[in-house]
Amino acid sequence: MSSTRTPDPNPGWLSEEELADIRHRLPLLYVEAVPVRLDGAGNVSEVGLLLRVSSEGAIARALVAGRVMFGETVRDALFRHLEKDLGPMAFPQIPPTPQPAHIAEYFPFPGAKYQDSRQHAVSLVYVVPVTGTCDPRQDALELTWMSPEQATSHEVLVEMEGGRGSLVKAALASVGALP
């Protein structure tokens, strides 16, 4: 007698054990987004940074971020994570063929420019205009809109873990918004 299994509705998801094993064997692909608001001339007027509780239990500024699942396009992963973190009414303006503003490679070693103690990961970083109302969800405590000057100030950048402050600067520089 054979048993019939219901197909997994999310075949791209891994169990915690599988993910831990893979994190020690392969680099994982992530997307990260710097949400921005544009003025009438198309210039960045505001930068949105999340406030989260870090893996160490500290309050930290963060970007919209997450893994790309097996079989998922980068564009779909970016949209999924923006909606997950900013809410369904954020209305992100993702181009049909997204080109990253920056690529970051995270290492689990101290002293790496981009550091993630859990894994070796490659992240495609995007600047994404958002036109709707943002209502942070999941583990985000809040979303703070700041001017590019505020978002790249020393006080804010030190609140970001793993070198992500330099990602904000690189992303804003790619769209001519670095103060």
Residue 5: the pLDDT is 41
Contact predicate 126/33, CB 8 Å:
yes
- Both tokens assigned to 150: 């505020």
Return the closest-CA partner of residue 167 out of 93, 95, 65: 65
Sign of the Cα pseudo-torsion (163, 165, 168, 171, in order): negative
79: pLDDT strictly greater than 80: yes
Residue 108: the pLDDT is 92
Instruction: Map out the domains of the chain as residue ranges.
Output: 26-174
CB contact set of 173 (below 8 Å; sequence gap of 6+): none
Buried b or exposed e, range 56-95, using 16+ CB within 10 angstroms: eeeebbbbbbbbbbeebebeebbbbbbbbbbbeebebebe
pTM for the full model? 0.85
Note the pLDDT tens digit of each residue in 149-175.
999 999 999 999 999 999 999 999 999
The confidence band for 1, taking pLDDT boundaries of 50, 70 and 90, is: very low
- Check if CATH label 3.10.450.50 holds for domain 26-174: no
Eight-state DSSP code of residue 135? -
Residue 39: the pLDDT is 96
Please tell me the least confidently modeled range out of 52-56, 100-104, 115-119.
52-56
Residue 19: the pLDDT is 77
Q: How far is CA 70 from CA 11, 56, 75, 99, 107, in A?
A: 8, 28, 13, 20, 21
Strands (E), the chain: 28-38, 44-53, 59-62, 64-67, 102-107, 114-115, 121-129, 140-146
